[in-house]
Structure 1
Amino acid sequence: MENKTEILLEVKELKKYFPMGRKTVLKAVDGVSFDIKKGETLGVVGESGCGKTTCGRTCIGLYDKTDGEVIYRGKDVHRMTKSERQEFTKNVQIIFQDPYASLDPKMKVLDIIAEGIYAHGLLTDRQKIKEKAEELLETVGLNKSFLTRYVHEFSGGQRQRIGIARALAVDPEFIVCDEPISALDVSVQAQIVNLLEKLQQEKHLTYMFIAHDLSMVKHISDRVMVMYLGQIMEITSSEELYRCPMHPYTKVLLSAIPIPDPKVEAAKKRIRMEGEIPSPVNPPEGCRFQSRCKYATEECRTKTPMLRELVEGHFVACHYPERAE
């Protein structure tokens, strides 16, 4: 049984800003703190531009941080020695959003999967590498005869499976899944999510699953973190979030999920948000959500709410969570 109390990744007040000119800064991630336990899936959700992907990539060192700390197994991700970094990049992998852009169409499937194996010196014998690649293809539900073909010959779902096989090739323990299903047909999305769940069980993997589709996140996540304009609005268990959301923004997102039953869907009350999402270059004072929240008070407009635990394991950044219907 996996020990789900051991913290694998700890993030403290992480900030990632992008300069947009001499005096302008885009605050993509602005002071987030959370942890991910070994063997769990943390779902990260929010509208496009809320900082989900930047957060995930900064956590694994693909982007340098602006401030804060990311600790992986007791070591600072952004201050690792060369040998620590080598070990870290073996243990931590990413599955990208767009399987059309993330795989080189001029490379054969074998070379794509074998890249990490060569880079980390895990195997050197060509025949053994081929056997490992064949095994990985079968693991992700593809025919081993695909090894000699080029990536451009495959569908989106097949390409994403090849991307998953590439990530698994170095036997990682933690994978950032960066919207791995959003570029795929709806019919293929469930297959990929089911595959990721199956692999997690078999290989004891830990996931940070980034998505904007809350219904899919519910299916795969143990806990869910809701982001808005670079900050965390709410974080709790998946079950608790869907049963009892506390932040007005989370309630808006959940109200937009379609229900398969037409009668229930017709009777459901959809919560509508006013206005457009503000720019992360010039975010609102106080609560980031205040310009679109119908419950906003003067305090919300001037004072930033802290992320606080209202019920055991349920953290919310809102001055008046009890007002939200």
Structure 2
Amino acid sequence: MAGGLVRVVVLLCAVVAVTRAQTWHFHGKPSGTWIKTAMAPLTQYTGKKWFGVGSNGKLYERYQNNNGNWYWVDHGKPTNDFYNEGCSSVKKSGLKARTFVRHTNGRLYERFWEWGTGWTLRYHGRPFSATYVDTIKTTSYVATTSGYSNVFVVATNGNMYRRWTHQNGGSTWFNLGKPAGKVIRSIHATRFGHWWAITTDGSVCRYQGGWPCFSLANRRILDCSDPFYVGSGKRSMFCLTVSEVTVTVPEAGYGLYQLTVGWGSSTGTWVNRNLPSVLHTFVDRPNVAFTSSPNWPVIQTPKSVFVSSTNGVYELRF
């Protein structure tokens, strides 16, 4: 194909073809506000505590008690209205807790914790002197048990960069480029799910030397969950989409799809997970909790997916 573009074949699968049962549940919203961000799980493997920010700027928790009942908790907000931007964190037993943030000066910083010292600030700067770290949220994960982590940013030149960094210091920038002719709007990376970018034209693209991209006919991908490994060399993610076909009620165009891609494959398999409401706008990205902490080969089985909307928070249970 001209220009070396990868021809993407999209396979659509009906929900009825999926062997795992699924049901949607409504969590509502906190009193006097709605959750404007994705709901983030406290841990990936219980799915009983989720956090999100309300339209009033407060932090809220949705938790399930031992009796199976769900509750909202108001955690309030800082008195100081100044924030860093686009943080992500890494933590593993025996290693330092590290949080990476983009500051408003366009540089990357790290806040790490160690016993006996407490919190310490570390400066990572910018990828190269001619570019800065863009406002797009960082993503990061622990890469080795010896203390190395990967943190990913998008720079103001539009490229995605990887920062290979050790908890005791010493780091290197790597330029991963970007999908040809596209603009990155968000990035997602995990140790076993690999490195992905969502683009402004509604595509999902994976870095593997080049940037093969996957898309849905007549639908635009808004954002996706972090990628996870499902076995047989395949990675998967849940994506919030919207129809590009004119509909009578604009809110009816939203849909949740699951994308699964084999390694080295130019073919993406899409499963329509639907959405439970057609009267409200869905926001941000889906987040996933899994059935248990994985062992090698790190196959992760989704337990639930949380999606936020102007009407309230919805959960897809498997």
Structure 2 length-normalised TM? 0.29
Give the structure with the larger helix fraction: 1
Give the structure with the larger strand fraction: 2
